[in-house]
Amino acid sequence: MSGMTPLTESRSRHDGHPSQRALEVRCVTGSAVAAVLHDIARLRAVVLQAWPDLHDGDASAERARLEPCARAWRSIAVLVMDGDQIVGAALGLPLEDDHGAIRQAFDLAGRDAATAFVLAGSVLLPAYRGRQLGHRFFSERENHARSLGGFETTVFASTERDDIDPRRPPFGRSNEAFWRRRGYTRSLALPLGPPAGPESGEFPPARQVAWTRPLERGY
Ligand SMILES: CC(C)(COP(=O)(O)OP(=O)(O)OC[C@H]1O[C@@H](n2cnc3c(N)ncnc32)[C@H](O)[C@@H]1OP(=O)(O)O)[C@@H](O)C(=O)NCCC(=O)NCCS
């Protein structure tokens, strides 16, 4: 029998695949967010080229969108690390420190920006999905907002596109059911208008929709 490899020692052809690897979730806050902004912007530039965001892959534009998170002392970045590589990231900051469409909608609606904490996007490379990290992104940011105190609502913006848009993937998966399970509802009282950035006039225009959830309800 010597010289034979026992079956129990055989290696799976999936060994080394991202879905098999141990990942670390790391949270950085406030001024420490600046140090990871460049890597997060590059990751977003890759992931958000997909439907429905259809960003143009420009990392410097992504970085500019994230700058408020680097300046806000109460911001958070939740990072998914595969070794020393950032393979997923989600950001959050007080709405008071943000000056984008959500802030404008709050101001126009006469709502107090100091009561809201913004979830400023989450991205995870496709090979790492389906491991509950999307849930973790929400929980870490909601817990951070709760621990800061003074916030009544968490809010984020999603990009929506027309059903008849020919770029819609045939088997695409929407995040809506996931967001609803997390307690979020579409807030039509906070109209956000079109997303920032260039859009091709050839296709139906995209729109941004605000989703909100009262923070005091635990998950
Ligand atoms: C959003 C994102 C970060 C979530 O990551 P994820 O690994 O899929 O998250 P989870 O494993 O926690 O799954 C979250 C939910 O997604 C759904 N989901 C996960 N994998 C799915 C699949 N293969 N098919 C259909 N739905 C799936 C499930 O509803 C799941 O919720 P449940 O566990 O209560 O059933 C990731 O999909 C992503 O980067 N998407 C592209 C960017 C994006 O859309 N970002 C959000 C707006 S900025």
Please tell me the predicted confidence (pLDDT) of residue 30. Answer: 97
pTM of the model: 0.92
52-61, 140-149, 174-183, 190-199: segment of lowest average pLDDT: 190-199
- What one-character-per-residue DSSP string does 94-158 give? EGGG--SHHHHHHHHTT--GGGEEEEEEEEE-GGG-SSSHHHHHHHHHHHHHHHH----EEEEEE
Pick the atom of ligand 1 nearest to 125's CA. Answer: 39
CA nearest to 80, candidates 37, 136, 31: 136
Mean pLDDT of 205-209: 93
Mutate to test the pocket of ligand 1, among 44, 119, 124, 208 (most ligand atoms within 8 A of CB): 124
d(CA 173, CA 37): 28
Q: Where are the alpha helices (DSSP H) in the chain?
A: 37-47, 59-71, 101-108, 133-148, 176-181
> Residue whose CA is closest, atom 32 of ligand 1?
178
Pick the atom of ligand 1 nearest to 178's CA. Answer: 29
Pocket of ligand 1 (CB under 6 A): 47, 121-124, 129-135, 173, 175, 177-178, 181
Is the pLDDT reported for residue 126 higher than 70?
yes
Mean pLDDT for all residues in the chain? 92
CA nearest to 157, candidates 111, 91, 82: 91
Is the pLDDT reported for residue 217 higher than 90?
no
Domains of the chain: 22-214 (3.40.630.30)
